[in-house]
Structure 1
Amino acid sequence: MDLRQLEAFAAVISAGSITGAARLLGRSQPALTRLIQELEETLGFSVLHRSGPRVTPTDRGLRFHQEVEPVIAWLRHLRERAATIAADKPRSLEISAIASFAAGMLPAALQRLGADALPEQVHIRAALAEQVVQSVATHVAEIGVTSLPVDHPALEIHWIGEAPCVAAVRADDPLAAAETIPLAAMAGRRLITMANPFRWRRRVDMALDECGVRPAAILDANTSNTALMAARAGLGIAILEPVIAYGMPLEGVAIRRLDAPISFFWGVVTPYGRPLTPLVEGLVNALEALARETLPGFVKHPPAMRDRLMSDVFGPVSVPLRQAGRRA
């Protein structure tokens, strides 16, 4: 495969047409068409459906595009870094984080470091937890914030955070008058929660099962931001991780404690073996300081606690963690 072919394919998916992609890349339409044809010959399958001037990705094309996107991002960053080296400028800062951190706490942490400390180019990429891990492991991002579980040999975990999940309801919901919302209140109501069953959604399901509570319906989303907006629209009761709830207060939404402990765990990670720059080290510390100030019930865990905490994520453990000296 040729990088020009990959760029051509990514541009077609973004623009929705060969003509639009040619304009994006500054190439002629015949040249772009030829690159796509060469890519398909190399791959052994079609990536585009063609219907006159219109093109749509094939099923295989969509799956392949998911693999191409990080390569194109890496190439773009490589070109940018080469330009900064040529101009003898400080390198850019690439940050990857789950959406709740990317929207609220990360900008606040960068602001705390001071504008003068930041390089000319700062990139904050909101991504799913698995994508954050991949970005940091492949050195595309210099620092990442992701939910547990995190188990990758190419990552160095600097610290692990824990804070209790909360409930969010529309401000005029009768439950908003209470300081604490019981899990039993979910019975007969629509529950707004996260879609990924392998992360903290699992803990929510376990807590509901233990209480014998069955919601009348489920609305799940792939980001906490979406779940928060669904609660604001009055679509149900949301159980949220606390970062989005307290990091981005939303008018018209009441955030309340839950009567059952459902912890949210996250980790601050960098590429393994890569020395921290003063800027990245400052960001690691700023994120901790903000978590302590912003999140009620925040607990910082050392990296050595990862396996024990991951065991807790996937199921109950025989010894309560708070009795195991987990406070930092």
Structure 2
Amino acid sequence: MKKRTHVEKPEFTLALLHPKHWGVWLGFGLLALLVNLLPYALLYRLGRGIGLLGMKLGKSRAKIAHRNLELAFPDMEKQELERMVTENFKNTGMALIETGITWFWPTWRFKRILVAKDIATLESLRAEGKGVLLCCVHALNLEITARAFGVLGLQGYGAYRPHTNPAYEFIQYRGRTRNGNQLIYRRDLKQMIRVLREGERLFYLPDQDYGHNKSVFVPFFAVEEACTTTGTSILSSTSKCAIVTGSGFRNSAGKYDIIANPRIDLDYPKKDDIAAAAYMNHYIEQVIMRAPEQWLWLHKRFKSMPDETQTNSRYL
């Protein structure tokens, strides 16, 4: 069956060469040049150096990361917490390099940094023609993870928000659709359900605070009332798909371990939004703990409170 997407592929026009877009072309041009000319070991050091610089310049973000870790791991020793914040910023800088690698490396080179540790679950479900909600997390190397599944022949659909700058959008679209991945507008729920029913894979990220709409408050790490999306339950119950958690964290050798865990939907409490969200968070925590320093702690994960009129004292 021919795959389809409602995100229209942006075409190149002369308007994209207008001087107001030169900064975008120059920035991505330099990034593409760097990642293709330099060896990975040097790119790794460069990315982490950028992250350290960002930590010095982004004091407010450092405070957010510090507070998130305090909330999530209240028993963590101060020295370890400070180390985690520093590592998180180093990995944030590396995320820029990893985006360049994902968008601009040829497939033959990209394959060299992948370690397919366990993808048997997805291969089995593909053989059955079963749709899969592939729940990943906001790892700082998320761009690599998505392309990696495509390179391994397990392409999927990603929820997408087009960029407002047309030159940026032209580059971003092509970067995110390499090796067969497709895009769906992030608010197009009907299309997401449709592709799952057709036996496709949909990349989904249920690990962040998306606000009160279609959310419940359940435990996430040590925070007892963390705003958590019910989207997983909505998509799985309406499409009858399988649910699998996946990840692609960077290991100590500088390669990326691509993992698709055994399906978790057989015991998933689909008819109870609160129980379902708590169930999902349990498995999301397990994924994050494979490499917690590579997760997006710079985002205010616990910003929403059960009472919308209540002042959030967590970040004061």
What TM-score, normalized to structure 1? 0.27
Higher RCO (Cα < 8 Å, 6 or more apart): 2
What TM-score, normalized to structure 2? 0.28
Q: Point out the structure with the larger strand share.
A: 1
